[in-house]
Chain A
Amino acid sequence: MPPLFQARHLTKRYGDATVVNDLSFHIAPGECLGLIGPNGAGKTTTIRMCLGQTTPDSGEITALGLEMPAQAQAIKAQLGVVSQMDTLDPDFTCAENLLVFGRYFGLPKAAVQARIPALLDFAALAHKAKAKPGELSGGMKRRLSLARALVNDPQLLLLDEPTTGLDPQARHLMWERLQQLLQQGKSILLTTHFMDEAERLCHRLLVIDHGRAIAEGQPRELIARHLEPEVVEVYGGAGSEAQALAHSPLAALANRVEVSGETVFFYTQDAKPLLAALADHPTLRTLHRPANLEDLFLKLTGRQIREEG
């Protein structure tokens, strides 16, 4: 099947700064593509280009057989967008928010009204139809934003950090709903800072930094390709006992060692000899776990805090 969405060789400069640099990606029908990267990596600019809000200096975007930005309105008619900040109308009830937003698509009032109960149901907000956004919790607002993005029954959804700021319950409910949408055959472009979210929802990930793609693939496959399978975290103890281990003979038992603050990370193919050796240091605390997407992200983009972070 041809891709539903394709971005080719996107470049965007602001003055001397190249914010997005020769970025290419595509989304297949029914696929969830995760766009991950540290703050300032170019995610927001990429999303803005995908929505036609800013024009790339070079490169091209096609979506649903149409060209962005030349046919932006025709594309947006078939797109659902949840932006980072809620843009719900505070003066309208949940139901009115959906009705008014449906009209922006040129949908007849009766057609939208017929869809509202199902949309509210999907957002688990059926009991809040007459409440205004100000009376909703953070998770409810995000779900109303999602329901609003579905008002035109889009094939493709652009979700910019849909769960940032939510508590675990609200986040899990959002994940469940996004899974449902994928099962219905919808495609999703998702940006997130949560690696567990990316791993859970995304079929494929695109890691970007400094405006460039630095890795692309399925989450498990990316981890296997870039990382040792096991991680032992060591911390605690008196003074800098943990850090000292990084330069001790014990470090040779790991393939790779990283120090971050008070914690030492040992990346290894087999943790058994390392754990045995660590038994000689009873004051230290250890955590043995499989390598995950967060390890990958930190390996690829570094541990230092970015300016915008």
Chain B
Amino acid sequence: MLPVTTSTTALTHPPIASHWRAPHLSPRFWPVFLRNLLVWRKLAIPSLVGNIAEPLIWLVAFGYGMGLLVGEVQVAGPDGAARAVPYILFLASGSICMSAMNAATFEALYSAFSRMHVQKTWDGIMNAPVTLDDVLLAEMLWAAFKSLFTVTAILGVMLALGISHSPKLLVAWPVLLLVGITFSCIALIFNALAQGYDFFTYYFTLFLTPMMFLSGVFFPREQLPQLVLWLSNALPLTHAVLLVRPLFLDQWPTDAWLHLAVLLGYTVAAFWVALAFTRRRFSR
């Protein structure tokens, strides 16, 4: 048996636990998620219009307008052989990933920042037995949920327009949820660093906009210069498109596990970084 030692004088704490310690997550995130759901339910219909109108306008204008000029695009199939695909289908399969990314990002930046910084909602929640880790998890899942909601609505319209009737779209749906999760985790890093809303403009113009053009959403990546292609290979949106596009074409994606692993890697790393930065923000 180990000797039991009691200390009467050692009142000094060990060094403050690092902000980089592992996430400590619990089911207490759920009431926080529910809180966001409850607020959103009150504003769901107007926000739905805003969420899906813009991506659809892009799709219709570009898809049908540019589609007439472009005609068909060559996409490599699982057997390596190129296959001609109508531009609207090519664009739809890429832009749905972009919509998932944008919807998650907007929620995890502007809305989460409002709750965290402007309304001090997080401070109030943490006076109850809910940890910052659980609040961040709830915000992350909430942004992903909103992204999934947007994506579902757009998919519904795409089905109605007859752009794709691939039964594999059922598989695309959970993949797009993962895309939302990945990008809400990344956005929460910038949320943790922001001093005001202006900061988010940098993230959009310096990170998201270039990524949209380098990830094969609007045109095939194959035409990119080699150096840029390498960069493109490292972008999460690229892997999202490589997973989702074949599913729109009723094909199984090649190297699916690799692409999933990349998205998961981004997700875990980004959540960890976002949590560390957020802990640091709240410890001051």
A positions within 8 Å CB-CB of B: 8-9, 51, 53-60, 72-74, 76-77, 79, 81, 83, 85, 87-92, 96, 100-101, 103-106, 149, 152
Contact = CB atoms under 8 A, between A and B. Distances in A.
Nearest to A145: B124
Interface string B242-284: 0000000000000000000000000000000000000000110
Interface in B1-28: 11-13, 16-17, 28
Interface residues on B, range: 20 to 34
B129 A100 contact: no
B283 A54 contact: yes
Contacts of A88: 124
Contacts of B17: 55
A73 B35 contact: no
5 contacts: A55-B13, A60-B11, A89-B119, A89-B124, A103-B31
Given A54-B283, A87-B119, A91-B43, 19 more contacts: A53-B126, A58-B12, A59-B11, A74-B129, A76-B128, A85-B123, A87-B120, A87-B123, A88-B124, A89-B39, A101-B124, A103-B34, A103-B35, A104-B28, A104-B32, A104-B125, A104-B130, A105-B129, A152-B128
Contact of A91 (B39, B120, B127, B128): B39
A71 to B, nearest CB: 10
Contacts of B39: 89, 91-92
- Which of the listed residues A51, A54, A76, A103 has the most CB atoms from chain B within 10 Å of its own CB? A103
Nearest to A73: B129
Nearest to B114: A90
A104 B13 CA distance: 29
Contacts, number: 78
B224 to A, nearest CB: 45
A132 B176 CA distance: 36
B283 to A, nearest CB: 6
A279 to B, nearest CB: 56
Contacts of B119: 87, 89-90
A22 B126 CA distance: 26
Contact of B121 (A77, A83, A89): A89
Contact of A77 (B34, B43, B129): B129
A100 B13 contact: no
Contact of B38 (A92, A106, A152): A92
Contacts of B83: none
A164 to B, nearest CB: 16
B13 A58 contact: yes
Given A54-B283, A56-B13, A91-B39, A104 B128 contact: yes
Contacts of A74: 129
A73 B134 CA distance: 12
A76 B131 CA distance: 10
A109 to B, nearest CB: 10
- Which of the listed residues B32, B120, B129 has the most CB atoms from chain A within 10 Å of its own CB? B129
- Which of the listed residues A91, A96, A105, A152 has the most CB atoms from chain B within 10 Å of its own CB? A91
Contact of A73 (B42, B131, B283): B131
Nearest to A99: B38
Nearest to A10: B11
B280 to A, nearest CB: 12
A72 B120 CA distance: 20
A79 B127 CA distance: 8
Given A100-B38, A105-B128, A83 B123 contact: yes
A66 B146 CA distance: 39
Given A76-B127, A83-B123, A96 B38 contact: yes
Interface string B131-150: 10000000000000000000
B121 A87 contact: yes
Contacts of B16: 55
